[in-house]
Amino acid sequence: MGKDTLYMIFAQMLFIASATAVHIGMGRILGPESYGEFGVILSLVAVLEVFLARGVRDSVTKYTAEFPEKSQAIKRQGLIIGAIFGGLVFLLYVLTAKPIAFAFHNANLTRPLRISALIIPLIALYSVLIGHLSGKRMFGKRALTMSVQSLGKVAGVYILALMGFGLQGAMSGYVISYALALLAAFYFSREARKESEAFPASKVLFFAVPIVVFSIFLSLLMNLDIFFVKTLIQEGQAAGFYTAVLALTRAPYLVSHAFAITLLPIISRLTSSNRLQEASRYINKSLRLLLILLVPVAFITNGLSGPIIEWIYSSRYLPAARPLGILIFGITFLTFFSVLAAVINGSGKPKTSMALAGAVLPLDVLLNLLLVPRFGLSGAAAATTLTGLAGMIAAALVVQKKFGVLMNGRSFLKILLSSLVFFIVPRLWPVSGWSLILYALGLFGFYLLLLILLKEISRDDLDLLRNLWTGMIKKNP
């Protein structure tokens, strides 16, 4: 494992740890009501971030790697695009902050929303520079830039919140962290002045469009529920409870990035050379490994949702336990949907994956409108879960039609039956507090032993997992 890979492993772990620390701390410091508003604003920023950052970042990475002699021109065009779109979205966000606050039944949200708007142009420029560093394979410098953002976020959010600035302080902490990260990114991406061949901005932009559209749809599928909770449930603490649920169910989706990132270029290469049988085998292996990793996480989270919530957020957040037990399956379904969409994109049909995501989005809206008023937080979780299931099935049918197979039925049954230990044991012998960690590790060890005895895990799986992890840490911003 190379030095740059080790740097990126550290940076990615720090990124995840910092996000977790911020959510746990803000849940306890701000209290359920303000923490819910914090979560709603972050979800809004997340959707806008996808629009501004992901497509242009990946486009800059792709073309910088392909045309290193034009790297300065590509970076310059990316920064121009980022500045224009970031500035426009910033202005629109600031101007609509008051109507958004009223839509969420809280006029006091206007100022925190406007503070969070400052994140938008910073992210737009930061993502371009991150893409540039990746395209130049400067992963060590990228890791340092990510670490600046992670540490700045924890320090800024905690210091300002503890000083009594509350929600506005927490959002200001995010602004400070991205400002510091942007300065670091500019510093690390600087190059000696030299002439660089021109590169058309349209090329950067057009490559980004299909990525952006699908990513926006997927981001909305993962965040619409919190918006409906905030607008349809009058009880002030409801959004805070649901923000805790969202924070605890994001891990499966983060894992899926590795599979999607690795699968897309491989499937693209194999299908373009008409090696469909080889592509089918790779899809089978990847989906099987994803199933091995995610199903036990979903089952144990469902079985121990109450103790997990109480341990991490305190007993004040116990109303979040039931929706957590439901939504973990929804995020798992959306994770598989995301990975299957990467396979579809790799086979040369990005419009199909966009159409699938666009088709299930109205279903998500309808289910939230029907279920949230009647079942509250559990209704929101159920809406996302049913939508994720529909998207996963639709994407699976497309992949099945193209490649002829998803995964071996016998393997599916072995993994599912072995995973039942995570579903049954927590209901018979529940635990709480710090013992949850040892309990989960013990169950996972027993689960792996079962899979080894059933000859369902091989050295090839470990090699594939290592490759996927390396792919994830080198791609995520």
* 62-71, 96-105, 291-300, 382-391: least confident range: 62-71
The Cα–Cα gap between 100 and 40 comes to 11
Q: Are 454 and 446 in contact (CB under 8 A)?
A: no
Choose one of 134, 165, 199: the last residue of a domain.
199
Note whether 56 and 119 are same-domain residues: yes
pLDDT at 390: 96
Q: What region, left, alpha or beta, does residue 280 occupy, with left being phi > 0 and alpha being psi -120 to 50 degrees?
A: alpha
pLDDT confidence tier of residue 328, bands split at 50, 70 and 90: very high
Q: Whose CA is closest to 30, among 136, 141, 157?
A: 157
Question: 216 and 195, same structural domain?
Answer: no
Same domain, 216 and 325: yes
Task: Enter the tokens of residue 151.
Answer: 């540490």
**Residue 83 pLDDT > 80:** yes
Token code pair at residue 465: 């997992």
**Residue 296, both tokens:** 């036990």
428: which residues sit within 8 A by CB, 6+ positions away?
Answer: none
Q: Which helix (H) or strand (E) holds 23?
A: helix 3-29
CB 267 within 8 A of CB 344: no
Residue 185 in domain? yes
pLDDT at residue 357 above 50? yes
With respect to residue 144, please indicate whether it lies within any of the assigned structural domains.
yes
**pLDDT value for 208:** 63
pLDDT at residue number 473: 47
**Per the domain annotation, does 127 fall within a domain?**
yes
Looking at the fold, whether 221 and 169 belong to one and the same domain comes out as no
Mean pLDDT in residue range 248-270: 67
**Most confidently modeled range among 1-5, 393-397, 444-448:** 393-397
* Better pLDDT: 26 or 234: 26
For the ranges 93-107, 207-221, 278-292, the one whose mean pLDDT is highest:
93-107
Percent of the chain with pLDDT over 70: 84
Number of domains in the chain: 2
Last residue of a domain, one of 199, 233, 267: 199
Confidence of residue 97 (pLDDT cuts 50, 70, 90): very high
> Each residue of 6-19: pLDDT tens digit?
666 677 778 888 98
Residue 6: what pLDDT? 62
Count CB-CB contacts under 10 A for residue 301.
24
Q: b/e map of 128-156 (b: 16 or more CB within 10 Å)? A: bbbbbbbbbebbbbbbbbbbbbbebbbeb
Q: Are residues 350 and 393 in the same domain?
A: yes
240: pLDDT confidence band, cut at 50, 70 and 90? Answer: very high
Q: Residue 364 pLDDT > 90, yes or no?
A: yes
The verdict on 84 and 165 lying in the same domain is yes
Is residue 180 in a domain?
A: yes
Residue 134: the pLDDT is 78
Say if 474 falls within a structural domain: yes
Average pLDDT over every residue of 64-87 = 84
Please give the full DSSP string across 4-20, using - where no structure is assigned. Answer: HHHHHHHHHHHHHHHHH
Q: Residue 461's pLDDT is what?
A: 62
Name 11's Cβ contacts closer than 8 Å, sequence gap at least 6. Answer: 142, 143, 144, 146, 147, 150, 473
What integer pLDDT is reported at residue 133 of this predicted model?
86
Q: Is residue 204 part of a domain?
A: no
C-alpha torsion sign, points 76, 81, 83, 84: positive
Question: pLDDT tens digits, residue range 279-307?
Answer: 777 777 778 888 888 888 899 899 889 99
Tell whether 330 and 393 lie within a shared domain.
yes
Domain span including residue 441? 210-477
pTM of the model: 0.81
Q: What is the pLDDT of residue 477?
A: 47
Q: Which amino acid is at 169?
A: G
Least confident of 256-260, 343-347, 360-364: 256-260
- Statement to judge: residues 136 and 268 lie in one domain: no
> Mean pLDDT for the chain?
84
E strand spans, 83-221 = none
Per-residue confidence band for 424, with pLDDT thresholds at 50, 70 and 90: confident
Residues 305 and 168 in one domain: no
Q: Are residues 70 and 143 in the same domain?
A: yes
Q: What band does 214 get if pLDDT is binned at 50, 70 and 90?
A: confident
pLDDT at residue 309 tops 90 = yes
Which letter does DSSP use for residue 318 in this model? G
| Mean pLDDT along residues 79-100 | 91
On whether residue 294 sits in a domain, the answer given is yes
Q: For residue 205, is it within any domain?
A: no
Residue 64, pLDDT score: 80
Q: For the chain, how far is it from start to end, CA to CA, in angstroms?
A: 20
**Three-state helix/strand/coil letters over 382-436:** HHHHHHHHHHHHHHHHHHHHHHCCCCCHHHHHHHHHHHHHHHHHHHHCCCCCCHH
Domain boundary among 178, 199, 220: 199
Element (H, E) at 381: helix 350-403
DSSP 44-103: HHHHHHIIIIIHHHHHHHHHHHH-GGGHHHHHHHHHHHHHHHHHHHHHHHHHHHHHHHHH
Asked whether residue 353 falls in the same domain as residue 459, the answer is yes
The residue whose two tokens read 């394979």 is 137
Residue 175 has pLDDT above 90, yes or no: yes
What pLDDT digit, counting tens, does each position of 387-418 carry?
999 999 999 998 888 877 777 778 888 888 88
Q: Please report the pLDDT score of residue 224 as a whole number.
A: 93
Beta-strand (E) ranges in 165-210?
A: none
User: Are residues 362 and 330 part of one domain?
Assistant: yes
**Is residue 275 scored above 60 in pLDDT?**
yes
From CA 400, how far away is CA 390, in angstroms rounded? 15
